[in-house]
Structure 1
Amino acid sequence: MSPKIKVVVVDDSALVRSLLTEIINQQPDMICVGTAADPLQAREVIRERNPDVITLDVEMPKMDGLEFLSRLMRLRPTPVVMVSTLTEQGAETTLRALELGAVDFVTKPRVGVASGLQQLADDIVDKIRIAARARVRRVAAAPGAAPPAPVAKPALSAAPPATSGIPRLSTEKVICIGASTGGTEAIKEILMELPPDAPAVVITQHMPPGFTASFAARLDSLCRIRVAEARDGERILPGHAYIAPGGKQFSLARSGANYIAVVDDSPPVNRHKPSVEVLFRSCARVLGPNAIGVMLTGMGADGAAAMKEMRDAGAYNIAQDEASCVVFGMPKMAIQAGAVHEVLPLKQIARAIMERVAAAGVRHRI
C-alpha cells in the first residue's frame, strides 16, 4: 500500500480545524498529522510533521495567510490548498494566493460552517489528493509587492508592437483554452503575451461561482487584449478573451457570419460546471478548422474527447508539457486521445499560437 498523504490543517477556527481533521481522517489514503491556529504555530508543526499537503486559511491572526504562504513557498515549497471565504475580497485574495504558488482553493461557507464543510467534504479531499501530486514552484514575489500597472488597451485597429515580430493577423481563427488545477497562472502567462489584435480567445477554467469575475478583471488589467466573463448572446470578437462564468456552461454558436457566446445553466459534464468538454465540443462543431485548441494544466480528462473532435474537424491543437504543468492530467489525457498536434512548455505556447495564426493569414491572402 502507498503511504498515506500527510496533511497539516492551519485555521484560526477551532471548529474548522476539528471538521477538516475529521474529514481528512475518514479517508483511507490520508491522515491529518497536525493542526495550527496561526502561522507561527504552523511553522513548528510543519517542521516537526513534514506534511505532504497543507490546508491554509486566508485570514488569520499574527500573520495573514498570504504572508505565510509567500514565506513557505520561498523557503520550503509545499503543496497548499487555500481555504477561502466566498466574498469579492476573498476572491481577490485567493487569486493572489494562486499567484504565490497555492495549488488550489476551497470556498469556506460564511454561515453554517459545520454543515457547509461536510457538504464540501468530497471536494476538499479530492483537492488534497491532487495537491499531493502537484508540482509546486518556488515563488520569490512578496505578498505586499505592488501589483503591475494596468496595461493600456490600444484601439483594436492599431498595429501590433514592433517587438512582437508577428505580421498583421487573420481574424478568422479563435483560440480555445481549457484548464483546471494550476490554470489561472498558465492562462495569465499566455494572455499577457497576446497582441491587442489577436484572434478571439474562449476559455473554460474550472472555477466556482464568485471567482471568475475577479479572475477576468485581474487579467483585463494585465493584458493588452480585453478580458471579461462571457455573457450569453454576445458576439465573439478579435482582441477579446471570454472566460466561462463559474457555475455555468459556456459554448459557442454561429449567427450568420458571427460567432456567439452561449452561457446557460445546463447540467455538469464530467462533474464540472463549467466544463471544457462543453466548450470544446461546440468549438469542433462551430469553428472547425478555424479553431486553435490549447489544453493546459489540470487534473482529470475533462475536454480530452472533445479536443479529439476538434482535431477531427480540422483544428490545430496544443497541449502543455508535463514539466511546466502543476498537474499533468488533462494534457496527458488529450495526448493519449490522439487530440494533440504539439506538446510545448507553457512559455512557448503563446508564440506558437500566434505563429500558427500568422501562417494561416498568409495562406488566406495567397
Structure 2
Amino acid sequence: MELTLSPAEQAFEAEVRAFIGANLPPDIREKVRQDRFLDREDFMRWQQILGRQGWFTGAWPREHGGQAWSAMQTIIFNRVAGELHCPELQVFGPAMVGPVIYTFGTEVQKARHLPAIRDSSVWWCQGYSEPGAGSDLAALKTQADDHGDHFIVNGQKIWTSYAHFADWMFCLVRTGREGRKQEGISFLLIDMKTPGVQVQPIRMLDGRHYLNAVFFDHVRVPRENLIGEAGRGWTYAKFLLEHERVENANLRFITQELQKLRRVAGEVRSGGGRRLIDDPAFAAELAGVQVQFKALEIGLLRMLSDMHAGAPAGPGKSSFIKIRGTEIAQRITELLVQASGPDGQRYQPGPLLGAGDDPLIGPEHALGPVPSYQFCRAMTIYGGSTEVQKNIMAKHALGL
C-alpha cells in the first residue's frame, strides 16, 4: 500500500530528489550510508545547504520564514531524505524551540533567534531531563532565582543530546514552589557560553559521544531570555513535546534502515546458498514491519493534517505516533543485526568513529547494525517512555 500523490506532490518529490542528488556532499552521503560517525561540521554543512534552500524549516508558516509545507510534503521530504542517505536533521531548533518562539516569544526574541534557526547557524539543545526527573518531568529541581532583570540558575540536566555541539539550550527551570509542581516551571533560553555552564560527556557503549550531563553553577540568564510568563513553562513544554513526539516517528531513519535491510537481505546467503530474502520466515518479518511503517505514515499524515489546519495534535495522537515510530525503528535494527550474523559482532572503532587508518574487516553492511541496535534501545525511553505514553493514551483516548 502506497500513499497516492497528486501531480503537485509528485513534482515536489522530483524537486526534492533532484536537489538532494545535486547538493548532498558525497562524503556526508557515504558516512551515512556506511553508518560512520558524523561530527558537528557534517551536520551543520548539510543543514546550512537546506537552510539556503529554505528547507531546514520547510514546515514553518510563511510569516516566520518557512515554506508552509503541507503534511504530505513533510512526509515526502523525510522519505526521500532517508532513501538518499541524508543525515538525520538536528530538530531541536526547527521542530522544537522554533515553534515555541514564534508562537509564544516576543518580537525581540523572534528577531534574534528565528533567522539563526532557519539558516542553521546556531545549534540548539534541549534541557529537560534531570536525575530523578525524566518521565516525571514536572519533578525537575534546577532552580532559577528571580533577580529582577536576570535569573540565577543552579542545577543539573542529563542525557542532553549534543550539548557539546550546542550554542544555545532551551531549558525548563523551577521558579516557584507554590501550588502544583507544574505551576512553578519556567522556560528559559540559555547561551551555552555563559560562565557557569559546564558540559560533561556521557560516552556510549560503542565509544560514540551523543549524550551529556550539563551543570549550572550560578549561571546568570537575562530576563529577556524568558519565554512567555514565569511559571507557565509547563504549558510551553507540553506544546513542544507534541512536536517532539511527531519527530520521534523517525520517518527518515526508518526509511533508510528499511532500504538497508532489504539490500542486506538480498546479499546475505545462508549456509545452503539461499538468499536471506528468500527465507519465508525472514521475508514475513520484513513484510510485517513494512506494513506497520505504512500504517504509521498514514497515522502521521492524519495528525500533521490536523496540525496544519490549526487543530492541536493532542497528547493521545502524538503518543501513539511516538510509540509506533520508536518500536518499528527498534524492530528494524533487530532484523539488521540478525541479517548481519557473526560479521556484525566485530567491534571496529576505527572505521566506525572515523579515527585512524584501520581497514574495515568483513562486509561494509555489518559495521553499523549492532551500535545502531544498542543506541535504539533508548528510543522507547527518551521523549517520554512507552509506559508513560500508554498512560497518556489511556487517559485522553479511553477516558480511564
Question: Fold-level match, TM-score > 0.5?
Answer: no
> Shorter-normalised TM-score: what interval?
under 0.3
Q: TM-score, normalised by structure 2?
A: 0.24
Which protein is richer in strand relative to its size?
Answer: 1
Which protein is richer in helix relative to its size?
Answer: 2
